[in-house]
Amino acid sequence: MNILTFDIEDWYMSYDSSQIAVERWPAMESRIASNITDILQFLETHQLRATFFIMGWVAGHNPEVIRKIARAGHEIGYHSYHHDLPLKQGPEVFEEDLCKGLSLLRALTGQQVCLYRAPRFSFSENTAWCIPILLRHGINISSSAKSGRMLNSYRIPQEPVFLEYGNEILLELPLNRAKTLGLNWVYTGSGYFRLLPFSLLNRLYGQSSYNMAYFHPRDFDTDVPQTALLPFYRNIMCRMGNSSTVPKLSALLETYRFVSVGKAAETYLEKPQDIPRLHLG
């Protein structure tokens, strides 16, 4: 199963609000509208429906762009309000963030919005408390963890998994990785996807029965701005290999079929007994 997702954040939000303060964001050049136009055209050309995990701040400042995504038939998920990590927020602030963002996205799109992705795939053994909060607010599917990461004494597998916390159960579709050349590569999207040669990407995609592809608007932007407010390496990484994203993804689409998170979840949930379970508390 190959799943196509986009994390909708602007180019200067690539890490979190600790690098560029939220108060500075309104003065930064936004590339969201033009990037999303290009992405939607690409998806329409290839007759694809994807999942867009959208930041609340971006939605609040680009409401018509978000409506445009929904009108095109794509699935909407939530990706935090300011790209703050749940572990830094704590339960109370996390729940406030979740309520604020979900309310906005549901109003803009008319969708139920039952999907969530934590910034930087940051679910860990210290964030199991997120599960009942997510479920309480209508989130039943998450894509917030990296395969191989430890949750309590369990290791996140390279496939969908049920995360159990008390009597609560959340379906997690993790970001998968592959070990090659002695390293665990997050090959399915964004920076590594831009930098790795297509021959290797094609081989890695073909070796796995589950691939969680993820991209940001900046991955499709060949003219990403630079700013002294970001570290030198971050400016470089936001621009390196961007021109290769479209041709590489187009080439993959000649061989592999991609679906949205919701469509993938429907297929997996047809046989829930085959989905592994991790008991977190």
Any residues with CB less than 8 A from the CB of 118 and at least 6 apart, and which?
80, 85, 86, 127, 130, 142, 144, 145
pTM to 2 decimals? 0.96
Rounded to whole angstroms, what are the CA distances from 17 to 6, 116, 127, 166, 275?
A: 19, 19, 19, 32, 35
Distance CA 152, CA 159 (A): 18
Task: Note down pLDDT in tens along the chain; length 281 residues.
Answer: 999 999 999 999 966 666 799 999 999 999 999 999 999 999 999 999 999 999 999 999 999 999 999 999 999 999 999 999 999 999 999 999 999 999 999 999 999 999 999 999 999 888 999 999 999 999 999 999 999 887 777 889 999 999 999 999 999 999 999 987 778 889 999 999 999 999 999 999 999 999 999 999 999 999 999 998 888 778 888 889 999 999 999 999 999 999 999 999 999 999 999 999 998 87
Q: Residue 186: its pLDDT value, please?
A: 92
Of 94, 101, 100, 90, nearest to 9 by C-alpha is 101
Phi, psi of 134 (to 5 degrees): -60, -50
DSSP letter for 13, please: G
What length is written for the chain? 281
Q: Residue 180: its pLDDT value, please?
A: 78
Spatial contact of 32 and 217, defined as CB atoms under 8 Å apart: yes
Distance CA 90, CA 70 (A): 31
Q: Residue 18: its pLDDT value, please?
A: 66
Q: Residue 236: its pLDDT value, please?
A: 81
Q: Residue 228: its pLDDT value, please?
A: 84
Rounded to whole angstroms, what are the CA distances from 41 to 69, 74, 77?
A: 11, 12, 20
CATH code (residue 202) = 3.20.20.370
Give the largest Cα separation in the chain, rounded: 52
Give pairs for 37-45: CB < 8 Å, separation 24+: 38/220, 38/221, 39/6, 39/215, 39/217, 39/220, 40/68, 40/69, 40/72, 40/74, 42/220, 42/246, 42/249, 43/72, 43/74, 44/72
Q: Two tokens at 278?
A: 């991790």
Any residues with CB less than 8 A from the CB of 258 and at least 6 apart, and which?
2, 3, 4, 48, 50, 213
Count of domains for the chain: 1
Any residues with CB less than 8 A from the CB of 111 and at least 6 apart, and which?
70, 75, 76, 105
Domain range for 213 is 2-279
